[in-house]
Amino acid sequence: MVRIQVRLTLLFVVIVTLVLAISGSYTQYSLSQELELRSQRLREGVLTRLQTSLPSALWDLDKSKVDSIVAAEMLPPELVAIRVYDSSVGLFSGKARDADGHIQAIASEAPVAGAPVEANLVFRDSVAVSASSKPVTVGKVVVNFSRAQIDAALVAEVRRKVIEVLLLDLILVAALVLSLRIIFDPLKRLRDGLDDLATRGSDEVEELPDNRRDELGDVIRGFNAVQRKLKSIIERIRDAEDASRRSQQETARAMDNLRQAQESLLQSERLASLGALVAGVAHEINTPVGIALTSASVLKEATDVVFANVSAGNVKKSDILRYLETANESARLIMNNAYRAAHLIHSFKQIAVDQVSEARRHFELREYIGEVVSSLQPTLKKTRIAIAIDCPDDIVLDSYPGALAQVLTNLTLNCVEHAFDADSEGRIAIGVRRDGGWIEMQVSDNGKGIAADMLDKVFDPFVTTRRGQGGTGLGLNIVFNLIVKQFGGTISVNSTPGRGACFTLRIPREPPAPARPGAAPAAAALLP
């Protein structure tokens, strides 16, 4: 993490460096222009003087004068060489500067360093009387100029600017470090105090010394005031946390008690449903058993009469025929009602055993739905409600028949209690179809339907429209828990008021092992 002090120093260094770089660049540009202009003036002056002084000496072929003129012009260090050519003889005179800066005569056309500048030498005879005399070109002069001095001056200027920037940066850094320490040392102590306050107990942190009489002293005194206030707040928070912890423990105990009570209510609801099934089946069996007992009693009386007549020896054919007729009718009644009672007992036994044991086994779905509906006949016979079953005969489940019986019983009784008024006709349809490894079952009715404001709460526990009339609000909650937790499936409901309701169940043909019973679902409603 880059500290503010370092960032401020870098910022000022960058700003100063940029300003000096811009200023140095402008100065360098101005110096380059000035040097170029000076070099141009030098070239023009040298050429002008040579064009003025050399023609007459060259016209007179005065080599010593030419050499002296060339030597005089070679004094500036920018001149590398001057060569004078005669129109007729070629190189007439020349001088060049060697590597050590000495001026020497040129005896040949050897290459010379520097940029050459060439000018013609024109002789004008000032003594001629004739106005028609014309200037005569007597030769030319070639001057080589060097840029080494210009480049050296520019390099020296760049070096001077770089040294100036470095010195100013060093001075600025030193000044900033010394000045910023006045600010950042107290801030560092303030930061350490904040760290201690954040990582250690408030009682362990001491207040910072506040003997400064400047703005930072005001900040430190404000920090100490905040620290004292924070200590007071922390004490109150600790007290509130202790109270919250105690309240949380009490809430957890209340939740455990509530969960146990809910599980007890769920178990009581299931046992109550089984008890109602027992009472209904017992009442239903009473009729066929009574008829069978009456028929057996009539047969016994007829048999006693025939036996007495046989013992007395006065048996008539009409008595035998009447006895046979009575015996045949009695046997038929006994057989029919005994079969009816046996069928009821078998259905009740299977349903009751499944609901109590919650065992998993293979069973044929169509037959089992029929047994569940048969076990509900004692209740349904008191109403004008018909049940229709639409299920293929070849669906076999490896599942929990007791839980399925509980689901079908609760859904059917839910329709009976809520979908229809007393003595009104109605129809409940149970439809089943295969969907791969899943079974989709729909339990629908053509009754009153469910109000729109109840649809989202229909599977919630303790939600009922028959509060105070025997409804507990747990029937559909039990259905939801069994479908979701034990079968690993889903259940939904659709309803339009006045057009009935339809519960759609999706369960796997081989559900997973049932989950441990837990809390009720978050959304749904119920009915009884």
pLDDT for residue 392:
93
Q: What single letter denotes the amino acid at residue 514? A: P
- N-terminal to C-terminal alpha carbon distance within the chain: 67
33-66 pLDDT, tens digit per residue, is: 988 898 888 888 888 888 888 888 888 888 888 8
Asked if 298 and 330 touch (Cβ cutoff 8 Å), the reply is yes
71-77 contacts at long range (C-beta below 8 A, 24 or more positions apart)? 71/95, 71/103, 73/46, 73/49, 74/103, 76/42, 76/46, 77/101, 77/146, 77/149
pLDDT for residue 513:
66
pLDDT for residue 526:
30
pLDDT for residue 284:
63
Place of tokens 């989950």: 515
Asked if 269 and 472 touch (Cβ cutoff 8 Å), the reply is yes
pLDDT for residue 1:
41
Distance between CA atoms of residues 373 and 412, nearest Å? 9
Distance between CA atoms of residues 372 and 401, nearest Å? 10
The total number of residues shown for the chain amounts to 528
CATH class (in words) of the domain with range 4-124+136-164: alpha beta
Question: What is residue 515's DSSP assignment?
Answer: P
Distance between CA atoms of residues 95 and 72, nearest Å? 11
Listed by start position, the domains of the chain span 4-124+136-164, 271-508
Burial (CB count <10 Å: 0-12, 13-18, 19+), residue 247: exposed
Neighbours of 331 (CB within 10 A): 13
Bridge partners (DSSP) listed for residue 362: 398
Place of tokens 């500048």: 117
Measured at the alpha carbon of residue 24, what is the angle toward residues 21 and 29, in degrees to the nearest 5? 125
SS3 375: helix
The structure tokens listed for 201 are: 């107990």
Neighbours of 411 (CB within 10 A): 24
Element (H, E) at 273: helix 215-312
* Residue ranges of the chain whose pLDDT lies below 50: 1-2, 128-131, 356, 468, 470, 515-528
Place of tokens 């008021």: 497
Q: What single letter denotes the amino acid at residue 33? A: Q
Place of tokens 């747990």: 474
Burial (CB count <10 Å: 0-12, 13-18, 19+), residue 82: buried
Q: What are the φ and ψ backbone dihedral angles of 397, each rounded to 5 degrees?
A: -110, 145
E-assigned strands of 394-471?
396-399, 425-435, 438-445
Q: What single letter denotes the amino acid at residue 86? A: D
Bridge partners (DSSP) listed for residue 93: 84
pLDDT for residue 482:
86
Q: Where are the alpha helices (DSSP H) in 121-211?
A: 148-199
**Second CATH level (architecture) for the domain 271-508:** 2-Layer Sandwich (3.30)
Cα dihedral 281, 287, 291, 297 sign: positive
Q: What is the pTM of this model?
A: 0.40
Asked if 150 and 36 touch (Cβ cutoff 8 Å), the reply is yes
Cα dihedral 95, 99, 101, 102 sign: negative
